[in-house]
A and B are shown apart, each in its own frame.
Chain A
Amino acid sequence: MQASRLPRYVDIVLIPILNLLTALFVAGIIIAIIGENPFTALSVMLKGAFVYKGGLGYTLFYTTNFIFTGLAVAVAFHAMLFNIGGEGQAAMGGLGIGLVALSLGGLLPILVVIFLAVLGSALFGAIWGIIPGYLQAKRGSHIVITTIMFNFIASAIMVWLLAGMLMAPNQMSPETVSFSDGVMLWQMHEIFNKMGFDIGRSPLNLSFVIALICCLFVWLLIWRTRLGYRIRATGFSLKASTYAGYRPEIIIIVTMAISGGLAGMMAVNEILGVQHRVILNFTSGYGFTGIAVALMGRNHPVGIIFASLLFGALFQGGAELDFEFQTITRDMVLMIQGLIILFSGALAYMFNPVLEKLFLRDDHLIGPKND
């Protein structure tokens, strides 16, 4: 990342919006090329995401997934670690929930089982983050490659278990038996129903609240604790961190544990909130979307909430495209996601030279050039 000489609001508000608009503009051109009206598509998506009854619930349900995986990527980013293993960590988190719920469900009080299941997801995700963290810190393997490999290893383990020893008897699809009654998180529409509001049916559940608590936790951790300071210091300069006596290898492993744990908790929303059994491929790429979310949200919990909401709306609105158009499907969302990662990640500073000219007209403000 290069140091920006631009005013802060330009850096954290204007540039992300500009990048997003560029991505959407390119997406619009592609939609026009395949012969559909991009504005109709946009309005269908917006209606599906916010206006139709229950639409907002679905949007916030997807948002929950992205908050977890986005936070996971962001925490690692603060230590300059690129965790693209969110997909595998989330899958393992699902396994953690499954093992707790299937072995203890019915034996212990329901609330205890749910609590342990949430812990199980974080623990299993954390383990899947700690190993690449350890390999990076102590053995010098590159975390990007190891986490990619760990995604595939996790997927193989899930297939092996769900089509093998954990597979429900008399079933054809690779999934476990349903958890015992009550081992699930409460649905928001039921909670609101009891209070006398009708918000329409949606899979939105208490995980949303857990996700928001995690945002607060990450904010406190990164900016208000000694560990957070050390994580940022390690990310800023490994040498300085060593010199200060922070033992960066420990910091790296701990950071990856927290990051993996957060990604693992994505399974709470999907498995404990909706499926109530472990199924194959429930992560459906949300781990990768977390990267886009963290990039757009500039690794800050508040930014991540907004970016997650954007992607939540994209996913829910994208589902609506399936019904309305013959030629546009959910894959459109994948394409837009790719464009957003390209423009707000890899090309994040494309507009910097132009903006610097606009905002820093006075020569004395620019200061000495150091590149």
Chain B
Amino acid sequence: MGSITSPIREPLVTGNKTYSQITEDICAPTERAPSLSWVLAFTVANVLLGVFAFTSVWTVYFGIGTWDLNRTVGWGWDITNFVWWIGIGHAGTLISAILLLFRQKWRTGVNRAAEAMTIFAVACAGQFPLIHMGRAWFAFFIFPYPNTRGPLWVNFNSPLLWDVFAISTYAIVSILFWYTGLVPDFATIRDRSRGLRKKIYGFVSFGWTGSAKHWQRWESLSLVLAGLATPLVLSVHTIVSFDFATSVIPGWHTTIFPPYFVAGAIFSGFAMVQTLMIITRYVLKLEDYITIGHIESMNKVILLTGTMVGIAYLTELFVAWYSGYIYEQFAFFNRATGPYWAAYWIMMTCNLVTPQIFWFKKMRRNIYVTFIMSIFVNIGMWYERFVIIATTLARDFLPSSWSLYSPTWVEIGIFIGSLGLFFTLFLVFVRVAPVVAIAEIKHILKSSGDQYVEKQKEHIKKHQFTENN
């Protein structure tokens, strides 16, 4: 019973699970002592987090001069990293919001972890504009608050300010959405535990009882939040692209930027979800909930968005040529053949060429291929932002002011360190919260669990048999 799902569809929960087995499988990793692999990973992540703290403090103490930015290249690795992280932070809300509206049941296996990843990626992204301010303790100047300087307000015509609002809103709404989904699952852990642990989970589960009326409102809330988050997630990277597109720099001021950035964000976000989920499902033994079918579905999204990004690259080249505007033409010629040609071709290869392997079903369903591809996409998308930012700025209108840019150890340290921040948060998350949405998996069990799908198939076979006679 339950809602009607075609039996041709692959089961989303395998291993003949019952409701209580689902609870057991998903809660267990939070209840046992951490494994050796977790401790090792956490140690490495913490060391990197230390690198992040050290290089950030170094930057703030000695100033932005410790980076090799110059008069022409005012944005280097910092803004590259910022856009990269924000892009990665797009998959979670896409999976939980847009796929909820599209009634895609496979989202239930991965939405919780993807949303967590989103929040942590946005947290990493937020560090970069903050450090780049130089005087990070004045960061609150970016908000329009009544002050004693007039009051002197912020400039509401500036896309950088729109970015402040977009990213703050995105972070807050993502956290609310994620936490509201977590509350019933925290209640499940609460009711399984004793002592201090019960008190802690009792506190964070907000006194959830599972009352019918609460569930009804919870579903209503999830649906409206999904409806709000859908245009929100599209708006965030659109506004990030405005940071570039509203300027008058050749190679930046193109109207294709918003859709191109959004597709790129989804592309890189899904790649990061794949990277994390392939490891998580193996380490936490969640292969029955995050199946090859889930991985294949995400690979399809990667193929689609990767191809969209590729088309955008080619369109940019075409428009540069077709516009007849020599500065635009030079910008793209310079990207492909100038001093940063290697970055450009890494970007082209990793984003446009290699993901085409996913046209083959065998490749989409191969975990090793998927994992390698996801790393490729992460690298390719980082280079995309580097190409857009650094190559464009290094060659501006006047050849006399051309310059080159390469990062210092401080900038490299901040980037590597931000990975430490991200993985530290993610590793803590897998220890304290259910990585898969327990209630949502139970909800789809009767329509997408393997034993039920089998039964439905048999039922249809029998039905056809009697009809033929």
Q: Do the two chains bind? A: no
Binding site for A on B (CB under 8 A): none
